[in-house]
Structure 1
């Protein structure tokens, strides 16, 4: 098994800065979400703000991904490619997934944003997914296990009739965007690797209204729900400490 890095005080300080940049840019992107806005315009805004803050986009060029922002709408689960022609419409669920590299360290976060007024069903899915992330973060304590994180997500959303996407996971993060270990959004309490103070994990529940199965579009990036129903996605970069979890990509 690959070794999971324990971050030093200096490394954690830089990851806090990276996380703050990610949060501030996501705040700006969320404020820009409105009917008629194209996902390309959101990507351009993310690129401009990243450069202005002296950071580098985490996603652009990663394994060939062409853009700064992952912009996924409605049944698109994750990795949606921004488009000059794709305009947001009233009632859409917009998933913004974004990361930066700052002075050699990464931050990564995602949030689901309602476009105008959304249906009660869409809002319920969004809120359940957001809540499941908070449940997962609460389980991120030294001595707990990876399975406790995934179980917290799975128990919360399945009790509400939703399904957890199993084809994608959270991940360790630090000097690389994706580090060991994978962090599934399902699991058994007490299962998997033991958590230790100094670990930094990106935890990201992806929750579907219907089936957990996903399909890949012809662009070879965009993952969509197999049944065409809605999906929601939230993510934070989280530091495990002896005093409890510290969310590095949350508003101060």
Structure 2
């Protein structure tokens, strides 16, 4: 146990009693009551938060750049080039590129593709399409991650409503983020909201801790039970990224490419993703 007058373990140069001591004591109280608590590796230091936010600035810039340029008639390979060029021109690296063999710089998932769609010169955006563009960035060794939906002209009212409801699911989930709450609160709120409006929530995938690595603990399910799961503590950073289907929640992964996930019943799917920092009084959205 750290001495109260030593410099804090987080590298802030403050005395432990003036920095993380109170938080650590509160974590121990929850742990003694049987709650799942984060270890120090999950709680980011002030320096790590600063560096992750710098990565997130580039990541948000990438999505802004895509938003200004995406249009009917372009290929998903064209989108990938926008992502790669903007990222590298800003001194960063696209995190998906070569990640566990993924061949491109972003994911482009259209209509009934749930996630991990692979950009391709032969896949052309058409009128009526909805597409998720998921981008992740490494800058100076630190990771950021977010995605947005884009609605092409001529999209049906059904498709537009799905995109809107999915964004609302994300917002409902984010509202649950607060110190000393639980990760399960996020999924419980998203599931209740989506199902009350007649939609289903994909359970095969979820959000995740991120910052020092691309994927860290905790796993953030988009379904759940309130007051369960890991304790949320100031300094934790994770994504919330609900995937919502018009039809049933079941999905499958393309056996040929090993990545792209589709709705099993062929129904439309949408996803929005933000990267969230737990603060001492709530949350901060750092990439969106």
Give 2:286's aligned residue.
248
Bigger Cα displacement from structure 2, 70-79 vs 10-19:
10-19
Give 2:150's aligned residue.
113
Q: What SS does structure 2 have at the residue aligned with 1:17?
A: helix
Give 1:239's aligned residue.
277
How does the TM-score come out when normalised to structure 2? 0.85
Structure 1 Cα separation of the partners of residues 181 and 242 of structure 2: 18
Structure 2 Cα separation of the partners of residues 133 and 20 of structure 1: 20
Contact 2:179 2:281 (8 Å CA) reproduced: no
Contact 2:146 2:275 (8 Å CA) reproduced: yes
Task: Give structure 1 regions of 4+ aligned residues with deviation exceeding 2 angstroms.
Answer: 1-4
Matches within 5 A, 1:59-78: 59-78=96-115
Q: Deviations over 1:150-208 (max 9, x none)?
A: 11111111111110000001000011010011100000010111110100011110011
Give 1:129's aligned residue.
166
- Report the number of matched residues: 250
Matches within 5 A, 1:144-183: 144-183=181-220
Give 2:56's aligned residue.
19
1:47 to 57, 81, 84: 84
Q: CA deviation at 1:28?
A: 1.0
Structure 2 Cα separation of the partners of residues 79 and 91 of structure 1: 20
Q: CA deviation at 1:117?
A: 3.1
Structure 2 Cα separation of the partners of residues 18 and 122 of structure 1: 32
Structure 1 Cα separation of the partners of residues 245 and 103 of structure 2: 26
1:57 to 94, 101, 107: 94
Q: What SS does structure 2 have at the residue aligned with 1:6?
A: coil
Bigger Cα displacement from structure 2, 3-12 vs 211-220:
3-12
Q: CA deviation at 1:31?
A: 2.0
Give 1:226's aligned residue.
264
Q: Deviations over 1:44-103 (max 9, x none)?
A: 111000110000111011111000010010000000000011100011011100000111
CA RMSD of aligned residues (A): 1.1
Q: Deviations over 1:16-36 (max 9, x none)?
A: 111111111101112222110
Structure 1 Cα separation of the partners of residues 277 and 49 of structure 2: 8
How does the TM-score come out when normalised to structure 1? 0.97
Larger CA Rg, structure 1 vs 2: 2
Give 1:83's aligned residue.
120
